[in-house]
Amino acid sequence: MKLYFTPGVCSLAPHIALREAGIDVQLEKVDDSNRAAYRSVNPHGYVPALEIRPGLVLTEGPAIMQYIADLAPQARLAPENGSIDRYRLQSWLNFITTELHKSFTPLFKPGMPAEAKTQFKDLIGQRLDYVEQRLAQHAYLLDSGFSIADAYLFVVTGWAGFVGLSLDRWPHIVAFRKRIGARPAVQAAMRAEGLQPPAGDA
């Protein structure tokens, strides 16, 4: 298998999942030098994409992560298919991708007006309030323990510092990031992408 990734973006989440699952994978970095060619793999041009075998490619992070989890059920990265806990996992994945991930994206655009950025930060703050309430009572997003949703949340909340959003307001999210950032698979994935864990996460 081959994972197409760009360092530090959302493709880090399936990269973490692959290492948590103990699955060997070839890594293919996507940047401006090869993005045009990459469109033959994923016409949208963004990462991640997982080439399962030549000619068979899966795109979209939440789908890729669930596929990885199902390849290695012994790693317990996702609840059993068809269970209510699996649907709870999918609920969290959808929440992270639509309410958090997509709200961060405009903040990275240099031409975005300051007023609009403030509105997006306020929206992210409201969503993080909800996550904080969950993590105030639980170590992970699911009762069953660490899952692919936690890997995704770790990656997305890691963008906060890059857009001038302090996480100090959400101490349980900060503690969560320390727990997830200390996991060997997370450390290995970040090192492989040329990244260092955020300060205090190691």
> What pLDDT is attached to residue 202?
36
Percent of the chain with pLDDT over 70: 97
* Amino acid present at 101: H
- The model's pTM: 0.95
| AA identity, residue 3 | L
**What phi, psi does 85 have (nearest 5°)?**
-65, -30
- Helix (H/G/I), strand (E/B), else coil: 50: strand
Q: What is the pLDDT of residue 197?
A: 64
pLDDT in tens, 40-57: 999 999 999 999 999 999
Which pLDDT belongs to residue 198? 55
Q: Which of 21, 153, 152 is nearest to 76 (CA)?
A: 21
pLDDT band at 196 (very low <50, low <70, confident <90, very high): confident
Neighbour tally for 73: CB within 10 Å: 13
- What's the pLDDT tens digit per position in 6-19? 999 999 999 999 99
Task: Return the biggest CA–CA distance within the chain.
Answer: 47
CB distance 50 to 67 below 8 Å: yes
- 201 pLDDT higher than 80: no
CA–CA gap between residue 167 and residue 161 (Å, rounded): 8
Cα separation of 96 and 180, whole Å?
Answer: 16
- Could you tell me the domains of the chain? 2-74 (3.40.30.10), 79-182 (1.20.1050.10)
d(C-alpha 122, C-alpha 132), whole Å: 15
pLDDT digits (tens, 9 = 90+) for 113-157: 999 999 999 999 999 999 999 999 999 999 999 999 999 999 999
Residue 46, both tokens = 């963004």
Q: How far apart (Å, rounded) are the C-alpha atoms in residues 184 and 158?
A: 17
Q: Average pLDDT of 69-83?
A: 98
- The answer for residues whose C-beta is within 8 angstroms of residue 108's C-beta and 6 or more apart is 159, 162, 163
Number of helices and strands in the chain (H, E): 9, 4
Whether the pLDDT of residue 69 is over 70: the answer is yes
Q: What angle do CA 153, 77, 193 make, to 5 degrees?
A: 55
